[in-house]
């Protein structure tokens, strides 16, 4: 077992799930400052999402985030890159084009947090659960500035997905004005990029999202 997976994390299954964006935090200093503030605000999960091919930068930033998340007892998830997640002993988020959930489970072990993009499909969600996913991500539910081309999903899906028995993540255009709507519809975790990493005060932004009712 990877030693990092034996750590005690705060409950990651409910709350605010922040996802980094290299456009909004374009260097190490701004990335780490914003993430530290978001962690202070009380994140449930953090995802490192960098779509560049700069392996050196990705390794350095992911390691920097892993140390900061560990200091707060918050689990780190790496977007797309199973090998990087395995090197760091952290979780991974995989979309439909990012490789097999079953292979990720086999490599990372049974304690690792493995997330799956299910778009607007209960069938994709069932398949991901059966392959060993830890959470199921649906969306986008609202207009997203980060990924406007993501296929839309309807909020009723969140209620239906609860029957699958895994934590459900809602993503896409979520902010203070609509977080409570997603939560009431059945989301356990609210995943956000812009609402936290474009905010002047990411700590306050996370608190606001946590308290949105």
Ligand X SMILES: Cc1ncsc1CCOP(=O)(O)O
Ligand Y SMILES: Cc1ncc(COP(=O)(O)OP(=O)(O)O)c(N)n1
**Which residues would be at the binding site for ligand X (CB under 6 A)?**
139-140, 144-147, 150, 171-174, 192-195
**End-to-end alpha-carbon separation of the chain, Å?**
39
Query: Does 17 belong to an annotated binding site?
Result: no
84 counts as binding ligand Y under rule CB under 6 A: no
99 counts as binding ligand Y under rule CB under 6 A: no
64 counts as binding ligand Y under rule CB under 6 A: no
User: Where do contacts with Mg ion occur on this chain (CB under 5 A)?
Assistant: 80, 95, 98
Among the listed residues 125, 112, 45, the one whose alpha carbon sits nearest the alpha carbon of residue 85: 112
Q: Which residue from 115, 173, 202, 208 is in contact with ligand Y, where contact means CB under 6 A?
A: 115
- Alpha-carbon distance of 187 to 178, in angstroms, equals 12
Cβ-based nearer residue to Mg ion, 66 or 92: 92
Q: Which residue from 93, 129, 183, 194 is in contact with ligand Y, where contact means CB under 6 A?
A: 93
Q: Which residue from 42, 64, 95, 99 is in contact with ligand Y, where contact means CB under 6 A?
A: 95
What are 135's strand-pairing partners? 115
Cβ-based nearer residue to ligand X, 41 or 139: 139
171 counts as binding ligand Y under rule CB under 6 A: yes
Residues 37-40: contacts with CB within 8 Å, 24+ apart?
Answer: 37/201, 37/202, 37/203, 38/196, 38/197, 38/202, 38/203, 38/205, 38/206, 39/68, 39/69, 39/72, 39/74, 40/72, 40/203
Min dist CB 187 to ligand Y, Å, is 11
Q: Which residue from 49, 68, 129, 194 is in contact with ligand Y, where contact means CB under 6 A?
A: 49
- Alpha-carbon distance of 153 to 30, in angstroms, equals 32
82 counts as binding ligand Y under rule CB under 6 A: no
Cβ-based nearer residue to ligand X, 15 or 139: 139
194 counts as binding ligand Y under rule CB under 6 A: no
Per DSSP, the residues of 82-104 read HHHHHHHT-EEEE-TTS--HHHH
Residue 7 structure tokens: 């750590």
Q: Which does 75 bind (CB under 5 to 8 A by kind): ligand Y, Mg ion, ligand X, none?
A: none
80 counts as binding ligand Y under rule CB under 6 A: yes
Report H helices in 100-201.
101-108, 122-131, 156-161, 179-185, 194-197
- The annotated binding site is made up of 47-51, 79-80, 98, 117, 144-147, 173
């Amino acid at each position: 077992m990877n030693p990092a997976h034996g750590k005690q994390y705060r409950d990651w299954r409910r709350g605010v799930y922040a996802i980094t964006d290299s456009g909004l935090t374009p260097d190490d200093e701004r990335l780490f400052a914003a993430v530290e503030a978001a962690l202070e605000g009380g994140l449930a999960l953090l995802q490192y999402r960098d779509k560049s091919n700069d392996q050196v930068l990705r390794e350095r930033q992911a390691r920097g985030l892993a140390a900061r998340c560990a200091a707060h007892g918050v689990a780190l998830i790496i977007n797309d890159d199973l090998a990087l997640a395995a090197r760091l002993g952290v979780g991974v988020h995989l979309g439909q084009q990012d490789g097999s959930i079953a292979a990720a489970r086999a490599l990372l072990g049974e304690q690792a947090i493995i997330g799956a993009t299910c778009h607007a499909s209960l069938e994709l969600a069932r398949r991901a659960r059966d392959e060993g996913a830890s959470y199921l991500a649906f969306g986008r539910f609202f207009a997203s500035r980060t990924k406007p081309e993501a296929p839309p999903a309807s909020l009723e899906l969140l209620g239906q997905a609860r029957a699958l028995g895994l934590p459900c993540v809602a993503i896409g255009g979520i902010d203070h004005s609509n977080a409570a709507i997603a939560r009431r519809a059945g989301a356990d975790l609210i995943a956000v990029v812009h609402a936290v990493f474009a905010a002047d005060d990411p700590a306050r932004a996370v608190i606001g999202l946590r308290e949105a009712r």
